[in-house]
């Protein structure tokens, strides 16, 4: 998996501070922003946007990612881009199990079937129906800071699936580097106090993990 922050609002923190200040006619944007976030008035964060290039995530994780609807996605097309010999993304739980060889063989068989179907004249957009969800994809995604914080609260949680948690962790590291004020306490609920999950993992995370 490769994650890059390729574009973002140049003065992201400043814009959000200005937005918070104008709401209360304040001369202290930073203090206004802190007050806004503490009171749940997070709309001021929507003025800052961040764009990422993501490569090498599975179609499983893509399906989870696109459930976050307040985001803009441009995804590599399986209609126009034919699969050659993709490096499959397989969970460690399968790789280390007695099913590893069988799973690998089954997925490679389906990819070979896909290739033969395309060579026989079946459109790639139809042949793709037989491909496994372990096939990797690439995308460009843009989210505003408010939606990013929501995304991190859900997907940086230990109870999130490993691959999307890894994606969220990498994105949060990049965001904290470029806009530390906006993402100072971003992440799962456990870093801000009590775990909000119905069933806690019992292993709270630390903000140092995203430094």
155 is catalytic: yes
pLDDT above 90 covers a percentage of the chain that reads 83
Q: In what order do the strands lie in the sheet with 49-58?
A: 2-8, 49-58, 136-144, 71-75
Which residue positions in the chain have pLDDT lower than 70? Answer: none
| CATH 3.30.1360.170 boundaries in the chain | 2-74+137-210
Predicted confidence at residue 58, as pLDDT, reads: 98
As a CATH number, domain 2-74+137-210 is 3.30.1360.170
pLDDT per residue as tens digits for the range 126-136: 999 999 999 99
> What local confidence, expressed as pLDDT, does residue 200 receive?
86
Per-residue model confidence (pLDDT) at position 195: 87
CA-to-CA distance for 58 and 46, rounded, in angstroms?
A: 28
**pLDDT value, residue 176:** 96
* Catalytic site residue from 155, 159, 192, 205: 155
Contacts of 91 (CB under 8 A, 6+ apart): 162, 163
pLDDT of residue 27: 86
């Amino acid at each position: 998996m490769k994650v890059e922050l390729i574009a973002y609002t140049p003065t992201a923190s400043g814009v959000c501070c200005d937005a918070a200040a104008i709401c209360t006619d304040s001369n202290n944007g930073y203090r206004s922003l802190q007050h806004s976030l503490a009171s749940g008035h997070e709309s001021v964060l929507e003025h800052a946007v961040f764009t990422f290039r993501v490569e090498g995530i599975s179609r499983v994780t893509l399906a989870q990612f696109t459930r976050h609807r307040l985001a803009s996605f441009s995804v590599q097309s399986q209609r126009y881009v034919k699969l050659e010999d993709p490096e499959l993304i397989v969970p460690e739980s399968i790789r280390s199990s007695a099913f590893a060889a069988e799973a690998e063989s089954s997925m490679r068989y389906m990819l070979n079937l896909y290739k033969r179907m395309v060579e026989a004249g079946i459109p790639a957009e139809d042949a793709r129906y037989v491909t496994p969800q372990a096939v990797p994809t690439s995308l460009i995604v843009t989210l505003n800071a408010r939606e990013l914080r929501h995304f991190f609260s859900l997907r940086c949680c230990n109870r999130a699936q490993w691959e999307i948690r890894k994606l969220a962790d990498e994105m949060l590291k990049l965001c904290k580097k470029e806009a530390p004020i906006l993402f100072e306490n971003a992440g799962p609920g456990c870093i801000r106090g009590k775990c909000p999950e119905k069933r806690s993992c019992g292993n709270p995370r630390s903000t140092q993990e995203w430094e």
